[in-house]
Chain A
Amino acid sequence: MEYKNETVSIQGGWPLEHWQWKFESLDLIRKTLEGLKEKKLLALKCRNCGLVYFLPKPYCRCLSIPDQWVEIKDTGTITTYTFTGAWAYEGIQEEGPSGTPMIIAGVVYDGSDTMTVCTLDEAKPEEVSVGMRVQLKWPDEPQGRLDDIAHCVPI
């Protein structure tokens, strides 16, 4: 039998960033993003157990499909927070960019039952606390993008 020296290649790759995942949440979030253009926070409520999801979620822990859109407030409460470490803290000079640390806050907006994670602006780390009241920091002209709800400020 004649041996033929050849390479067989299988075409294609595995670039995860180009995978066409199927997410119902993408359809839901489009509606929420549309609302942001009018500075409205649209959340999804489960009619069965009453839980309000912000951001909207296509399925509920009670095995129902939430389908009632409700508008929630743009004020809320910090339920937890952290801040980044590359900065001076209690006398320890950290390496990295100088300046103030970024504060990451878990915020439950009034009317929602779930937490959204955003940055808390216009506050210092020592001023933050669980239970602190905050307001979404709207851009002057919201573009209907996730960036529109990326920041909050103390009330």
Chain B
Amino acid sequence: MDKEVAIIAYAQTPYEADANASREMQVLQVAKAALEAAGLKRDELDTVITANNDYLDGRTISNMRLVEPSGAWRKNESKVEMDGAYAVLYALMRILSGDHGIAMVVGESQASVYAGYVPGTMMLDPTFDRQRGLLNEVSAAALQARAYMHASGVTEEQIAGVAAKNLGNAAKNPLALRSDAGADAAKVLASRMLYSPIRELMTSALCDGACAIILASGKAATKAEKPVWIKGVGFSHDSYLTERSLSRLTSLKDAASRCYSMAGIENPASQIDLAEVHECFAHEELMAYEALGFCPEGEGGAFFDSGATRIDGSLPVNASGGAMCANVVCAAGMARIIEASMQIRGEAGERQVEGVKTALAHGQTGICAQENIVFVLGGE
């Protein structure tokens, strides 16, 4: 895609373990901030897409109370019940239809109101896996991690290293919930074992928060300062976890391939300057290196060891701290898109990477990263 749709503004709440605000007020805060950043009024929005989840909200039609706070009152509003990166996709498609010029995208959830990984058990096969009681999001991720470690020869130290890298990067992200400038693999490996090889500091930081992104058509974006162009998008959805190989993120590989073909990326490791991946567990970042074609299949661990994905490396991954520092279900993929945009615009403050022209952002939904979406973004 060449200058058809741009990201022109965005906003995030700070990520908190227990926000002192309702989801509605968090959404209102980011929607207003994004409009202000874009220099737009609510009346100028043509369409609004929200990303939220009935089950996590504990009520049905989870977008019904977000109509006013998202700026959607009596507008053409719709929602996705998946990661917010899919809401960005939906807004992108509405703009590409030619019927809409400016779209507001909002994603939110509040992990403080539900019991950690309990809702995730409703993703499990009801006839056996849910009855048997062995699987949950963490034990399933542990099965994924072990299958990947076997296939690619990755060690627990390398997985811990990813978590430490991201927690260290997060120390320069003022919105991060969890950060640790002095984190190293040994510290991560000393954290509490949940399900081998997954330890507490290898899990993402589930939390409260909201994100807003404003998209504009090429025509509408000409008035914007520093538009970030969507150059490509791809997505793919794999089978339930017992019916696919857990050792590879095959649907992420599909998604990346489709995205790269749209964005004209032939050699991702050299053409992409920075990536933000949605790692619900640290090992998934290593799996993503392979699936995104940053390194050959089977070499995720070696690629990490090379230092390429450190903030001062040739292809920094999760300069923001990734989901290790904050994982708002339904907004985490949007946070990746926002960080990639900030890096392209040179707005990332202390964690700014020099010379980011092309950046990749990834979102995922479902147990063991069942579905994946990839965006490639670029500046002027």
Q: Which B residues touch A85, using CB under 8 A?
A: 192-196, 199
Q: A104-B134, A117-B129 are in contact. Are A84 and B195 (CB under 8 A)?
A: yes
Q: Which A residues touch B193, using CB under 8 A?
A: 85, 89, 92, 94
B96 interfacial contact with A, CB 8 Å: no
- Residue of A81, A106, A119, A150 ringed by the most chain B CB atoms within 10 A: A106
Q: Which B residues touch A150, using CB under 8 A?
A: 132
A115 interfacial contact with B, CB 8 Å: yes
Using a CB-CB cutoff of 8 Å, which residues 217-263 of chain B contact chain A? 239, 241-243, 245-247
Using a CB-CB cutoff of 8 Å, which residues 103-133 of chain A contact chain B? 104, 106, 113-119, 125, 129-131
- Alpha-carbon gap, A55 to B131, bound state (A): 13
Check A80–B243 contact: CB distance below 8 A: no
Closest CB of chain B to A113's CB: distance in Å? 8
- Alpha-carbon gap, A37 to B239, bound state (A): 30
Check A29–B194 contact: CB distance below 8 A: no
Check B239–A61 contact: CB distance below 8 A: yes
Q: Which A residues touch B150, using CB under 8 A?
A: 80, 129-131
B98 interfacial contact with A, CB 8 Å: no
Stretch at the interface among A5-13, A19-27, A68-76: A19-27
Check A82–B139 contact: CB distance below 8 A: yes
Nearest B residue (CB) for A24: B127
Check B126–A21 contact: CB distance below 8 A: yes
- Which residue of A81, A84, A119 contacts B146 across the interface (Cβ within 8 Å)? A81
Closest CB of chain A to B296's CB: distance in Å? 21
A135 interfacial contact with B, CB 8 Å: no
B135 interfacial contact with A, CB 8 Å: yes
Check B243–A116 contact: CB distance below 8 A: no
B190 interfacial contact with A, CB 8 Å: yes
- Which residue of B126, B132, B245 contacts A23 across the interface (Cβ within 8 Å)? B126
- Alpha-carbon gap, A78 to B192, bound state (A): 26
Nearest A residue (CB) for B124: A117
Check A117–B242 contact: CB distance below 8 A: yes
- Per the CB 8 Å criterion, the residue count for chain A at the interface is 35
- Alpha-carbon gap, A101 to B131, bound state (A): 21
Check B147–A130 contact: CB distance below 8 A: yes
A79 interfacial contact with B, CB 8 Å: yes
Closest CB of chain B to A34's CB: distance in Å? 15
A49 interfacial contact with B, CB 8 Å: no
B317 interfacial contact with A, CB 8 Å: no
Q: Which B residues touch A92, using CB under 8 A?
A: 190, 193
Could you give, for residues 53-75 of chain B, a 1 whenever the CB lies within 8 Å of some chain A CB and a 0 otherwise? 00000000000000000000000
- Which residue of A29, A83, A89, A104 contacts B128 across the interface (Cβ within 8 Å)? A29
- Alpha-carbon gap, A94 to B239, bound state (A): 35
- Alpha-carbon gap, A79 to B196, bound state (A): 15
Closest CB of chain B to A106's CB: distance in Å? 5
Q: A89-B193, A92-B193 are in contact. Are A104 and B126 (CB under 8 A)?
A: no
Closest CB of chain B to A41's CB: distance in Å? 13
Nearest B residue (CB) for A150: B132
Q: Which A residues touch B195, using CB under 8 A?
A: 82-85, 104
Q: A25-B127, A80-B150 are in contact. Are A117 and B192 (CB under 8 A)?
A: no
Check A82–B146 contact: CB distance below 8 A: yes
Q: Which residues of A contact B (CB under 8 A)?
A: 21, 23, 25-26, 29, 53, 55, 57, 61, 79-85, 89, 92, 94, 101, 104, 106, 113-119, 125, 129-131, 146, 150
Known: A81-B146, A117-B143. 6 other contacts (CB 8 A): A80-B146, A82-B198, A85-B196, A115-B242, A125-B196, A146-B128
What are some 21 contacts across the A-B interface (CB < 8 A)?
A25-B125, A61-B239, A80-B144, A80-B146, A80-B147, A82-B143, A82-B197, A83-B196, A84-B195, A89-B193, A92-B190, A104-B143, A106-B143, A106-B242, A114-B243, A115-B242, A116-B242, A117-B132, A117-B134, A118-B134, A129-B150
